[in-house]
A = this chain, B = another copy of it.
Amino acid sequence: MKTLKDVGEHNAIAALTANLKTVGDDCAVLPLDTHYDLVLTTDPLISGIHFAPDTPPEQIGWKAAARVLSDFAAMGADPQYLLINLVAPPEQEFQTLEKIYDGVSRLRKLFGVDLVGGDLSQGPVLELHVFGVGRVPKGKALLRSGARPGDIIYVTGLLGGSFANGKHLTFMPRVKEGKWLRQSGFVTAMMDISDGLATDLRHILKASKVGAALDSTAIPKNGTLEQALFDGEDFELLFTVRPEDADAFDFQCLEDLEQSFPRIGTVTDQPELLTLDGTVLKRKAFEHFKGES
């Protein structure tokens, strides 16, 4: 009998959700009314997997909520509500849980998001399951499937070393940038980087049926190139812009955001082929259940 470890996380999700058409982007986008689409997402945060048991509790709460807000950022959507299922052992100190909620509250207040429900249950280790509800103007959500050959590939910030330097616990989700990028009208595809640039870019390539050529010198690195490509948990936005719009886009970024985003590569017409400096890039991704780290 095959176990989850044999199958791997991404394959397992793909197999279990094969007949559901809305799964695949960072959030599900569903019709709401004449003006808006409903945007839904959920992320787990599990002790020993997503954070070390000795992590300060405020940071646990912050990360749990920030991961979900980053999913909204990835679609250019507005997060509105959160619900949290908390799991904890009976011997868990109650004060720790209060501090976890403080971490959630600190972040959700920054973005005007309400915590409206959830549950608390006994279990072997500390876990948070955060469910997010929001909206986006009808038909305007940025998907992974919109990249076209020739598009320029951008990223919003430094990649790599997030686990080592603690950024994965304190990062600011790119909600404002995501919304601006959507409103700019220049972006053709977008997602957030949770599993590492090399792995997540492949999701865009698959969904858009295109390839990509990356330029190693252009990738903004926090550490080595290897780390920038494979570490994961950066929670920066990865997006593509039509080549004829790229200069206007760069200008508009400086004008509105007072910053520019690096161009790290180009979309090609070779489906799912990812190259780095002209050489095919091998897969090496963190994936749950397969024991790599």
Contacts and interface: CB of A to CB of B under 8 A. Distances in A.
A2 B95 contact: yes
A116 B209 CA distance: 23
Chain multiplicity (copies): 2
Given A30-B81, A89-B4, A43 B119 contact: yes
Interface stretch (A12-20, A164-172, A234-242, A254-262): A12-20
Interface in A1-47: 1-7, 9, 12-13, 15-17, 20, 22-23, 27-28, 30, 32-33, 38, 40-44, 46
Contacts of A129: 42, 44, 85, 129
Interface stretch (A120-128, A148-156, A276-284): A120-128
A88 interface: yes
A2 B117 contact: no
A225 interface: no
17 contacts: A1-B94, A3-B92, A4-B88, A13-B119, A22-B116, A22-B117, A27-B117, A28-B116, A33-B33, A40-B116, A43-B85, A44-B87, A44-B123, A46-B87, A85-B85, A122-B289, A124-B124
A9 to B, nearest CB: 6
Interface residues of A, number: 66
A101 interface: yes
Contact of A16 (B33, B81, B101, B131): B101
Interface string A45-80: 010011000000000000000000000000000000
A183 B87 CA distance: 36
